Amino acid sequence: MTTPSIVTRFAPSPTGLLHVGGARTALFSWAYAKGRGGTFILRLEDTDQKRSSEAAAEKIIEDLRWLGLNWDNSGGVIPRQSQRLARYNEVIDELKSRRLAYDDAGAVRFRMDNLPGVAFDDAVYGHIEVGKGQLEDFVIKKADGFPTFHLAVVVDDIDMNVTHVIRGQEHLSNTAKHAALYDALGKPRPVWVHTPSIMNPDGSKMSKRDKAKVARKAALARIEIEGREAFIDRVLNVKPVPMYIQDSDAVSGNISDKIDGFIDSENDDILTAAVIALREGIRLPEINVADFRASGYLPGVLCNYLALLGWNPGNDVERFDLDFMCETFDFDRINKANSKFDREKLLAFNADTLQKMPPEEFASLLKEHQPRLATKLGDQFRGFAGMYQPRSRTLNDPAELGRFFFEAPTTYDDKAVKKNLARNDGEGLKLLGEFRDVLAGTEWNAAALQAAVEKFTADKQLKNMGSIAQPLRVALTGTAVSPPIDQTLELIGQQETLARVDRCLDKCKEN
RNA sequence: GUCCCCGUCGUCUAGCCAGGUCUAGGACACCAGGUUUUCAUCCUGGUAACACGGGUUCGAAUCCCGUCGGGGAUACCA
């Protein structure tokens, strides 16, 4: 029941990292082809020489792999337009010789003025007509010898037998040009499928500018406080930035030269933004696939959420995997209206998936995501992972929520101390002191510790286990929050537990 | 400015094409209760939308027109 003739492609321009909008386009193209026994091609549109880079190309490829969207390019070769100049020139020359294109100050333009108008059909937006008045001759070959996107995309899609062109709605207005080109070349037009855009919650377009905005705001606030020179000094002292947050156009260059430009001329250098964020301890909004990966989202969840932005399988079904996408995806259920990216919903999906998966799977994903955390914890890693699986919304959460396992508290949260230690003439503090001696003589495993807590609660006729568990939490973590107290104690270890309790008792007696 | 596209809860959306079954359904978020040694989870309940104005029709979220609002194109970017 397959239709082997279907060919789709994803054709990003390697001018930056893969962003979520591109990822969704890739996902739709992939799912449509895969679900019908067709072919999905990856191709790089690097006709913009100035902005394209090989580094960006490699990162896009890596992100696509991570998402699980595999391509079927013959021989595994990913075509680059920069390597097909001869072919484009052949087409351009043909057009010129047929007087359908002409030289214009070093460039070549395709003639549209001889057309009565252009009409085409889109699988999502329906029938579209563009009147003669809107048709202008357009450049198909630039003065630098490269073809424009319009020419290259059409020639490539023809040569690669692409049957369905799935792309962002920003190309809808360009499609009349492409249709005219197909017609001029005497080739059958593909099925065009334009998808609505993904926007920020405030309705603006999602772009790397959003990162720059946040970083710039933080920088200006800091400069307000400590002055410009001191700020630049701080930023210069930052450690090397992880590769994943680097952008292709910012990989090289001296950071110090860029800070002024970043702050004053509002360029959107995201490496500078990332460095500032690192230094200021703020989070930049996730925009690119790599950002979500770094933040601890699962690729399957990202795909699931992204698919829902503009498409749904009906019947109130919201959670599904890539296989389901292949089976059910079709153009007739793609929406027309733009949608806003809602991180909360993505987070909820991610949390749900993380919390419901088998513990072994969670542990192995966490280890893969943060190998150093696993190394540091050694034998305790499994216990740690198990403890935080029910509490994690991303793969970054365990390390953040469980920070106190590695760093003993140096300060104690005021509210937590008042409520759990100081209240009622230091009742909590007194109980903590008494329970310290119990702990010193308890066998160190979760079951025994739990029994000890319960016995203590009964012996002292306490209201509930919280009466002793909460003071303990404050001593161990500096806050009133931790996983179940028995597990927490077991993992911290007897020696360290007693040391922390003693330190807390000392510190509280001082005040 | 001109042209193209779009407009259902705060957000993503179902319903629209084939008008009545829609006192508009689901999800996330939010609010209130409950379970729980804290947190998280979990359970129950709740608030909340057809942009506006005309028309067609016995009947309109669904069809038509206009207004307003949003997005895109108008580049030798893609």
**pLDDT tens digit string along A362-386?**
999 999 999 999 999 999 999 999 9
Parse chain A into domains and list their residue ranges.
84-195, 209-286, 414-510
Q: What is the DSSP string of A144-210?
A: TSPBPHHHHHHHHHHHTT--EEEEEGGGGGGHHHHHHHHHHTT----EEEEE--EE-TTSSBP-THH
- Using C1' positions and the CA of A104, the closest nucleotide is B76
Give the nucleotide at minimum CA-to-C1' distance from A201: B11
**Closest CA to B70 C1' — which residue?**
A203
Identify the residue whose Cα has the smallest distance to the C1' of B17. Answer: A332
What's the confidence (pLDDT) of residue A266?
66
Nearest-nucleotide field for A50 (CA, C1'): B77
Mean pLDDT of chain A, nearest integer:
90
**Integer distance in angstroms from CA A419 to C1' B77?**
60
Q: Report the predicted TM-score, pTM, of the whole model to 2 decimal places.
A: 0.92
Mean pLDDT of A470-483: 95
A137 Cβ contact partners less than 8 Å away, ≥ 6 residues apart: A109, A110, A111, A112, A113
Choice between A287 and A301, residue whose per-residue pLDDT is larger: A301
Q: In Å, what is the separation between the CA of A406 and the C1' of B77?
A: 49
Residue A415 (CA) to nucleotide B7 (C1'), in angstroms, measures: 48
Give the residue nearest to nucleotide B76 (CA to C1').
Answer: A142
Question: A247 pLDDT band (50/70/90 cuts)?
Answer: very low
Bases along strand B below 7 A from a protein CB = 2-8, 10-15, 25-29, 37-42, 70-78
A414 three-class SS: helix
Statement: residue A241 has pLDDT above 60: no
C-alpha–C-alpha distance, residues A274 and A133, integer Å: 46
Contacts 24+ apart (CB under 8 A), A401-405: A404/A476, A404/A477, A404/A478, A404/A479, A404/A482, A405/A377, A405/A491, A405/A492
Torsion (CA) A53, A56, A60, A66 in degrees, nearest 10? 140
Closest-approach nucleotide to residue A349, Cα vs C1': B28
pLDDT in the model for residue A4: 54
For a pLDDT cut of 90, what percent of chain A falls above it? 72
Q: Which CATH number fits domain A84-195: 3.40.50.620, 3.40.50.300, 3.40.50.970, 3.30.70.100?
A: 3.40.50.620
Nearest protein residue to nucleotide B28 (CA to C1' distance) is A345
In the predicted model, what is the mean pLDDT of residues A53-74?
95
Distance from residue A192's CA to nucleotide B61's C1', rounded to whole Å: 29
Which nucleotide comes closest to A15 if you measure CA to C1'?
A: B78
Q: What is the pLDDT of residue A511?
A: 62
Q: Report, as an integer, the average pLDDT of A501-508.
A: 89
pLDDT at A243 over 70: no
Q: How far is the CA of A332 from the C1' of B15 (A)?
A: 15
For residues A499 and A475, give the distance between their C-alpha atoms in angstroms, rounded to a whole number: 10
Instruction: Give dist(CA A256, CA A305) in Å, integer.
Output: 39
| Residue type at position A451 | A
Nucleotide nearest to A173 (CA to C1'): B73
Residue A244's closest CA among A17, A15, A14?
A17
- Encoding tokens for residue A92? 């351009």
A9 CA, B25 C1': Å apart: 36
Q: What is the distance in angstroms measured between the alpha-carbon CA of A131 and the sugar C1' of B63? A: 26
Mean pLDDT of A310-318: 95
Residue A323 in this model has a pLDDT that exceeds 60: yes
Mean pLDDT of A444-454: 94
pLDDT confidence tier of residue A269, bands split at 50, 70 and 90: confident
C-alpha count within 13 angstroms, C-beta hemisphere, residue A67: 32
Q: CA A337, C1' B14: Å apart?
A: 15
Residue A477's nearest nucleotide, by CA–C1', is B38
| ipTM higher than the 0.90 cut | yes
Q: Given pLDDT bands bounded at 50, 70 and 90, which one contains residue A244?
A: very low
Q: Distance, angstroms, CA A427 to C1' B33?
A: 31
The fold for domain A414-510 equals Arc Repressor Mutant, subunit A (1.10.10)
Q: Is the pLDDT score of A462 beyond 70?
A: yes
